[in-house]
Amino acid sequence: MKITKKRLFDFCNENNDALNELQSQSDSTDFVLSTLIEQLKDLGVIDKSGDEPSDIDKAELKGSDLARAMLERGDKFVMCGVSDGDDNDAANLEDEDFLAEAVTDFDDADGLFVATSMRWLYAVPINNQGEPLTQSDVGL
């Protein structure tokens, strides 16, 4: 799995001081990213080839992370249990408030899943029985 600009900036948001220092040194986003990549390699966060270490690659995507990955892959509609509570609420078929929606997009700007009726904080891919799907179920 390659490191993307978004993942680097997510990492920087967790380490805001490092990002601010890099940004103060240059107005160039490319300079900031290339410097950050070198620092991440030195720290062992990513290996020298630019890939994340294999133990990170083995982490199973699930819940809303899996829904985002399916949409990034190009899936046009992902049937999901949805909620504004958390992934557990979205996937709880036994809950009287369980709601399934066809999710069509994830809006990075506001962090919401776009469904056919409205926008949701959490969306868990489900099968036609309402059970949560796994990464291997969807071929990722």
What pLDDT is stored for residue 34 in this prediction?
A: 73
What pLDDT is stored for residue 97 in this prediction?
A: 83
Per the CB < 8 A criterion, the answer to whether 37 and 3 are in contact is: yes
In whole angstroms, what is the distance from residue 61 CA to residue 89 CA? 17
Encoded tokens for 30: 């490319």
In whole angstroms, what is the distance from residue 5 CA to residue 50 CA? 12
What pLDDT is stored for residue 7 in this prediction?
A: 62
In whole angstroms, what is the distance from residue 119 CA to residue 101 CA? 10
In whole angstroms, what is the distance from residue 14 CA to residue 8 CA? 10
Mean pLDDT for the stretch of residues 119-130 = 94
pLDDT digits (tens, 9 = 90+) for 8-21: 666 666 666 665 66
